[in-house]
Amino acid sequence: MDFDAWNVDLASASAYHNSGFRLAVEGSPSQPEGVIPSHFPEDSSAVEQVRLIRAGLKAIMDAAQKAQRKELEC
């Protein structure tokens, strides 16, 4: 499984993995207060599920930080 295959939507504070897994965050995408995982792949192990959560959270936070840097440059 490619744990780096994410599409991030900062407007909805969500990340979508190519496996169908979805991760949404509560609060600010750059400093989330909570996470809401859904649609885990049926054949995924507990370890893979945790990796998906961690990788998705990192993808959201990285995208938010990149957007903040871009705003500061303008």
Q: Tens digits of per-residue pLDDT, 20-68?
A: 999 999 999 988 999 999 999 999 999 999 999 999 999 999 999 999 8
pTM of the prediction?
0.90
Local confidence band at 72 (pLDDT 50, 70, 90 cut-offs): confident
Q: What is d(CA 41, CA 20) in angstroms, rounded to the nearest whole number?
A: 7
Q: Give me the domain span that covers residue 19.
A: 6-73
Whether 15 is in a domain gets the answer yes
Whether 64 is in a domain gets the answer yes
Contact 53, 18 (CB under 8 A): no
CA distances for 14 relative to 5, 28, 43, 45, 73, angstroms? 14, 11, 22, 22, 24
Whether 35 is in a domain gets the answer yes
Whether 1 is in a domain gets the answer no
Number of domains the chain is built from: 1
**Predicted confidence (pLDDT) at residue 14 exceeds the cutoff of 90:** yes
